[in-house]
């Protein structure tokens, strides 16, 4: 499955605030549904359900609910790591970490129309994701951010530009410390879009944030 690259890809990653004890009636579950609703209105192209602590049953229910919210819209839904749950819930695809199955394994099992994204932190990892059949790579951290410190120093705009140029036209989505101010710099460096957790976390401001970013 290919992405719409006619405009910058806005990629919402959920906060991972749910727990094994979370159910559909909990506030954190309902907050994700509110985020998804706002994302559809804002024209966000991708939502990644990054809720690693949910039970399989509740993750399936969450994915199913978000898919229903995004139905007949521009927004596509990815489930973190669980391609089986994504398929069962009717989601568009999966997002793979560096500890997940390789994209080529998922592609062979789930077919050509299944959307596959991959987390990467270097040119070598992004190249491997492309060569293994991923549809795009999320690359970061581009800017300094506490949540991504374990992946090493920030790549910076120069390295981002070099990686995007080396892999063009393979889509690279920038991640890590992205704000309304520096998002245009990522596009100028060759990124196809940008992903964020904090950037898109507040449903009440998500629409305005997306509009501000698009205005550059």
- For residue 28, the domain's CATH number is 3.20.20.70
Is the peptide bond between 215 and the residue preceding it cis, with omega within 30 degrees of 0? no
Query: Which domain does 122 fall in, by range?
Result: 9-215
Q: Evaluate whether residue 92 is within a structural domain.
A: yes
Q: Measure the CA–CA gap between 6 and 18, rounded to whole angstroms.
A: 34
Give residue 74's pLDDT. Answer: 92
Q: Evaluate whether residue 118 is within a structural domain.
A: yes
Give residue 7's pLDDT. Answer: 87
Q: Evaluate whether residue 135 is within a structural domain.
A: yes
If one counts every other C-beta atom within 10 angstroms of the C-beta of residue 2, the result is 9
Q: Evaluate whether residue 4 is within a structural domain.
A: no
pTM of the model: 0.95
Contact present, 153 and 122 (Cβ < 8 Å): no
Q: Evaluate whether residue 139 is within a structural domain.
A: yes
If one counts every other C-beta atom within 10 angstroms of the C-beta of residue 214, the result is 14
Give residue 149's pLDDT. Answer: 61
Cross-strand partners of 95: 80, 117
pLDDT averaged per 10 residues, the chain (length 216): 82 97 97 98 97 98 98 96 98 96 97 97 98 98 77 90 98 96 96 96 94 84
Q: Measure the CA–CA gap between 195 and 10, rounded to whole angstroms.
A: 6
Q: Measure the CA–CA gap between 88 and 129, rounded to whole angstroms.
A: 24
Domain total in the chain? 1
Q: Evaluate whether residue 1 is within a structural domain.
A: no
Q: Evaluate whether residue 140 is within a structural domain.
A: yes
């Amino acid at each position: 499955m290919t992405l719409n690259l006619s405009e910058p890809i806005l990629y919402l990653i959920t906060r991972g605030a749910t727990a094994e004890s979370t159910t559909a009636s909990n506030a954190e579950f309902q907050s994700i549904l509110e985020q998804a609703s706002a994302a559809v209105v804002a024209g966000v192209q991708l939502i990644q359900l990054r809720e690693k602590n949910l039970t399989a049953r509740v993750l399936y229910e969450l994915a199913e609910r978000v898919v229903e919210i995004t139905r007949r819209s521009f927004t596509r839904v990815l489930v973190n790591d669980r391609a089986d749950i994504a398929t069962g819930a009717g989601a568009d695809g999966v997002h793979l970490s560096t500890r997940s199955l390789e994209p080529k394994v998922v592609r062979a099992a789930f077919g050509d129309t299944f959307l596959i994204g991959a987390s990467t932190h270097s040119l070598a990892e992004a190249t491997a994701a492309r060569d293994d059949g991923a549809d795009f790579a999320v690359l970061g951290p581009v800017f300094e951010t506490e949540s991504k410190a374990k992946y090493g120093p920030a790549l910076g705009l120069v390295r981002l530009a070099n990686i995007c140029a080396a892999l063009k036209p393979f889509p690279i989505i920038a991640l890590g410390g992205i704000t309304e101010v520096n998002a245009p710099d990522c596009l100028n460096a060759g990124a196809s879009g940008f992903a964020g957790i904090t950037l898109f976390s507040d449903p009440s401001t998500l629409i305005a944030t997306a509009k501000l970013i698009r205005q550059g």
